[in-house]
């Protein structure tokens, strides 16, 4: 991660970065994000670029260096463009419907599963079988998408369930497909 940490981050127009002793706050057109940073990694704002410095070349400092840089880069991208994860619902009778800000999933349980939208997350249902989770915090968007997928993950034998768009589900052969000896 040391090579990642050495690359400066260009601060786009309309984005304001405040660097504290142990935290950083990024404010942009889509909102505000803040995170804790390690006090050993020094952040500097030089000519509209964020530069990260580590105290030594130890393995710990190198990993913190790259992680801090990636975290702040994701925050800047989030407040400018935002992040989204697309989910597909596959199966006969499987569907999603939007009720206000929340999403209700009908995935062959005896009851519909209601999923409330936390602060900073927006759901968008396209058709009955496509769901988009979007927001400015990359970690939160990924976490919420993973929780929704966990409600009914893809079945290994039929492929039915909730999956990420583009995810390849390996379908196992059933019992009848075994070789005859």
70 found inside a domain: yes
**Max avg pLDDT among 5-19, 144-158, 167-181:** 144-158
Question: What does the pLDDT read at residue 1?
Answer: 47
pLDDT of 179 > 90? The answer is no
Average pLDDT over residues 43-55: 88
Domain shared by 75 and 92, yes or no? no
Q: Which of 80, 99, 114 is the last residue of a domain?
A: 80
Question: What does the pLDDT read at residue 4?
Answer: 85
Question: What does the pLDDT read at residue 149?
Answer: 96
Domain shared by 68 and 106, yes or no? no
Average pLDDT over residues 112-121: 94
Domain count within the chain: 2
178 found inside a domain: no
Domain shared by 62 and 23, yes or no? yes
Q: Which of 80, 110, 126 is the last residue of a domain?
A: 80
Domain shared by 104 and 37, yes or no? no
Give me the domain span that covers residue 95: 83-164
Least confident of 32-46, 70-84, 110-124: 32-46
pLDDT of 136 > 70? The answer is yes
pLDDT of 177 > 70? The answer is no
Question: Average pLDDT of the chain?
Answer: 91
Domain shared by 54 and 95, yes or no? no
Long-range contacts of 147-156 (CB under 8 A, 24+ apart): 147/115, 148/87, 148/103, 148/105, 148/115, 149/87, 151/105, 151/107, 151/113, 151/115, 152/94, 152/105, 152/107, 152/108, 152/109, 154/90
What is the C-alpha to C-alpha distance for residues 139 and 149, in angstroms, rounded to an integer?
15
Question: What does the pLDDT read at residue 129?
Answer: 92
Question: What does the pLDDT read at residue 181?
Answer: 55
Domain shared by 128 and 59, yes or no? no
Contact 51, 109 (CB under 8 A): no
Q: Which of 26, 45, 80 is the last residue of a domain?
A: 80
pTM of structure: 0.88
pLDDT of 31 > 60? The answer is yes
117 found inside a domain: yes
Domain shared by 89 and 69, yes or no? no
Domain shared by 89 and 160, yes or no? yes
Domain shared by 93 and 151, yes or no? yes
What CATH number is associated with residue 151?
3.90.930.12
Average pLDDT over residues 79-92: 96
pLDDT band at 178 (very low <50, low <70, confident <90, very high): low
Question: What does the pLDDT read at residue 35?
Answer: 92
């Amino acid at each position: 991660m040391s090579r990642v940490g050495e690359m400066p981050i260009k601060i786009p127009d309309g984005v304001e970065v405040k660097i504290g002793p142990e935290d950083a706050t990024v404010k942009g057109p889509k909102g505000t994000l803040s995170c804790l940073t390690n006090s050993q990694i020094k952040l500097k704002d030089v000519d509209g670029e964020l530069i990260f410095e580590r105290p030594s070349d130890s393995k710990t400092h190198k990993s913190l260096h790259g992680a801090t840089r990636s975290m702040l880069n994701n925050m800047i991208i989030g407040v400018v463009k935002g992040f989204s994860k697309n989910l597909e619902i596959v199966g006969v009778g499987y569907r999603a419907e939007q009720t206000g800000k929340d999403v209700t999933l009908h995935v062959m349980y005896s009851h519909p599963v209601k999923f409330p939208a936390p602060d900073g997350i927006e759901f968008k249902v396209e058709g009955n079988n496509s769901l988009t989770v979007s927001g400015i915090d990359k970690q939160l968007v990924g976490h919420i998408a993973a929780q929704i997928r966990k409600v009914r993950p893809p079945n290994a034998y039929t492929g039915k369930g909730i999956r990420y768009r583009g995810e390849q589900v390996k379908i196992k052969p059933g019992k009848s497909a075994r070789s005859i000896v």
